């Protein structure tokens, strides 16, 4: 039996095994629609097979096919086991607005996933998670007039990291919070691309820890007093502030840049002109260890 015939036989066996495991519930049924993501691995296996097919190391041609089959089954099982069966699908989570809720407190742990928050909605939360990612746990708890929302990324397995897709033009997580209820947000996102357009979200407080991350943060004027605390060693931060809001910055030792954007020193901090008289004020506590910082007005 030549390597080519062996390969075709094993591919038919692989498809049959995956369909059988799907019918028995051991792997997510949606995996059968995602076999196309294994195509690059198949090409590599076929290439190795062709290289050694007519040499003394012919055994490698057979082993390449066996390795491909083993990896395919392992990815299917791991993707189901470590992500509740939805690794190969996208996922949407929505929490409707609850009468009497006056505050949302949200905690988000990205676990290396890129995120975008924008376009506030009527409900408490709309969340979308891309396919081929380990889906986070999303929980909601109502305590009096406060809604607690927790989004926590799961530890990714070796196999899920193998097929993990990270696109520069498309965040893996997309969130939208209420346009009517004030938000207190705590987020950790080391080594991630973070885009927070909160101009339409009534943000009251944001605590963001993001080492070695790229962060875009646009704030609005829906709350009279906004507090932002950012910690991010070797991070790149782009901060956008509305013209009609007062700005106060602390935490930076190099004041030369802050002076170039019109801030002046006051009690160990730097404030914009007329800060105390404006209806909307934004206080920002920054990390002096950022790799890059830019602040502009819109």
Q: Are 144 and 101 in contact (CB under 8 A)?
A: no
- The token pair at 88 is 């190969």
pLDDT digit string, tens, across residues 81-110: 555 556 667 889 999 999 999 999 999 999
Residue 229, SS3 per DSSP? strand
Least confident of 53-62, 165-174, 190-199, 258-267: 165-174
Query: In sequence order, which residues have a C-beta less than 8 Å from that of residue 129 and are 6 or more positions away?
Result: 90, 91, 92, 93, 135, 136, 172, 173, 174
Mean of the pLDDT values across residues 199-221? 97
pLDDT surpassing 80 at residue 152: yes
Mean of the pLDDT values across residues 133-154? 92
pLDDT surpassing 90 at residue 214: yes
pLDDT at 15: 83
Residue 133 vs residue 251, higher pLDDT? 251
pLDDT surpassing 90 at residue 281: yes
């Amino acid at each position: 039996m030549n390597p080519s015939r062996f390969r075709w036989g094993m591919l038919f066996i692989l498809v049959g095994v995956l369909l059988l495991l799907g019918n028995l519930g051991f792997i997510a049924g949606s995996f059968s629609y995602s076999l196309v993501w294994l195509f690059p691995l198949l090409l590599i296996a076929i290439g190795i097979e062709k290289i050694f097919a007519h040499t003394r190391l012919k055994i490698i041609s057979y082993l390449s096919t066996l390795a491909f089959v083993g990896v395919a089954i392992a990815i299917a099982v791991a993707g189901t086991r470590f992500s509740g069966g939805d690794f190969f699908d996208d996922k949407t989570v929505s929490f409707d607005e609850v009468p009497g809720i006056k505050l949302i407190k949200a905690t988000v742990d990205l676990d290396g996933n890129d995120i975008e928050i924008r376009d506030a909605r009527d409900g408490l939360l709309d969340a979308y998670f891309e396919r081929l990612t380990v889906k986070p746990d999303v929980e909601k708890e109502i305590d009096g007039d406060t809604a607690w929302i927790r989004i926590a990324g799961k530890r990714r397995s070796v196999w899920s990291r193998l097929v993990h897709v990270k696109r520069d033009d498309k965040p893996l997580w997309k969130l939208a919070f209420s346009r009517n209820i004030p938000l207190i947000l705590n987020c950790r996102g080391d080594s991630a691309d973070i885009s927070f357009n909160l101009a339409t979200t009534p943000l009251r407080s944001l605590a963001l820890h993001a080492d070695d991350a790229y962060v875009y943060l646009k704030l609005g004027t829906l709350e009279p007093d906004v507090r932002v605390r950012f910690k991010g060693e070797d991070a790149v931060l782009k901060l956008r502030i509305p013209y009609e809001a007062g700005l106060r910055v602390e935490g930076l030792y190099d004041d030369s840049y802050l002076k170039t954007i019109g801030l002046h020193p006051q009690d160990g901090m730097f404030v914009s002109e007329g800060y105390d008289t404006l209806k909307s004020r934004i206080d920002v506590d920054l990390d002096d260890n950022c790799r890059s910082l830019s602040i502009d007005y819109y």
